[in-house]
Copies of this chain bind each other. A is one copy, B any other.
Amino acid sequence: MSASLRQVAERAGVSIRTVSNVVSGFALVAPETRARVQAAIDELNYRPNAAARHLRGGRSGLVALAIPEIASPYFGELAGLLAEEAERRSWMLLVQQTGGDAEHERGLLGGVRGQVVDGLVLSPWALSPAELRRRPDAVPLVLLGEQDADGLLDHVAVDSVTAARDATRHLIGRGRTRIAAIGLQPHLENGTAARRVEGYRQALAEAGMPADPELEIAVQRLHRADGADAMRHLLDAGPAVDAVFCFSDQLALGAMQTALRAGLRIPDDLAVVGFDDVEDGRYATPALTTVTPDKAAIAREALACLADRISGDRAAPARRIVVPHTLTVRDSG
């Protein structure tokens, strides 16, 4: 066990309170006393007890990040940035995997196991906006992704409609005429996929191209395997396509592998555009053209927002923070 204030106090011949004053740095302490206390602290290798501070002060210095899965490159990169940002704020980051499970997500809304954390950054997957809204009012919460919760919950995201439109416009601009979209998720309440389809359709409409339901492929999850399956489906049964816009880089990479194996040349026969700009895509062959959300901004804004909630007005109107995105054109389309 580690030394406590009491032991330091005994050793330095002062009261517990005085040691506390030295440790916190504040308050008036005579230089000589401070030095003596400091010496005792060093000798005993005193470290303030986090549990006691937490109990007394109500702050744990912990923030939780709840995401579907850490191993997914997008969430991994995001988690890394959030960890950096948390470190900068002297917070510790606790990571919870929801597995995209509604039950699990719901559980977290009520607070992470016994009020351990000061705040929660949640990237919902299966939870409906309605459920998000009627959450038990517990820890400060910031949502990642667009959530149909305007005015009720803070959330940070790129503008998916615009981003998807940009990506699709790009393909149209390159002369593609049969552009498929991979990544619809009609089974989920989560609005992200819906918004990306919307942007995709808008771009087609602008260009006077008909929206063909056969070109809109739904997936269960956003993994490479789902992209591979979707592409196989398109190649087997589907109509001819000369481009695919995938709602994540993972989907795009899976789709690319299938297409390449089928002997298609990318981008000559098939252009592929992704979404997220994860590192994989940059080193894929061909390198993936993709929508680049400002992930650092997402991390920064999410924690800034959380910080405001934690130490500021909890009842302040909810904020909808939109971070910038760009289209990064590489070799795949």
Which B residues are CB-close (under 8 A) to A260? 285
Residue A48 at the chain B interface, CB threshold 8 Å: yes
CB of A172 within 8 Å of the partner chain: no
Chain copies in the assembly? 2
Q: A224-B279, A280-B280, A285-B285 are in contact. Are A112 and B95 (CB under 8 A)?
A: no
Task: Name the CB-closest residue of B to A280.
Answer: B280
A73 an interface residue at 8 Å Cβ cutoff? yes
Query: A47 and B115: CB pair below 8 A?
Result: yes
In the complex, whether A217 has a CB less than 8 A from a CB of chain B is no
Q: Which of B94, B110, B256 contacts A92 (CB 8 A)?
A: B94
CB <8 Å contact, A283 and B71: no
The answer to whether A283 and B224 touch across the interface, beta carbons within 8 angstroms, is yes
A228 located at the interface, meaning its Cβ lies under 8 Å from any Cβ of chain B in the complex: yes
Q: Given A69-B80, A73-B76, A76-B73, does the pair A47, B95 have CB atoms closer than 8 Å? A: no
Chain A, interface SS category: mixed
Task: Kindly identify, within residues 281 to 316 of chain A, every residue whose CB is under 8 Å from any CB belonging to chain B.
Answer: 282-285, 287
Select one of B1, B76, B92 contacting A113, CB under 8 A: B92
Q: Give 23 A-B contacts (CB < 8 Å), ordered by A residue.
A: A2-B111, A49-B55, A50-B114, A51-B115, A53-B114, A54-B54, A55-B55, A70-B79, A70-B83, A71-B73, A71-B77, A71-B81, A73-B280, A80-B97, A83-B95, A87-B97, A93-B95, A94-B94, A224-B279, A224-B283, A254-B283, A257-B287, A284-B284
Contact at B115–A92, with CB atoms within 8 Å? no
Q: Knowing A70-B76, A254-B283, A257-B285 are in contact, say whether A97-B114 is a contact too (CB < 8 A).
A: no
Given B53, B92, B110, B257, which contacts A96 in the complex, CB threshold below 8 Å?
B92
Are B49 and A115 within 8 A (Cβ)? yes
Q: Which residues 103-120 of A sit at the B interface, judged by CB distance below 8 A?
A: 110-116
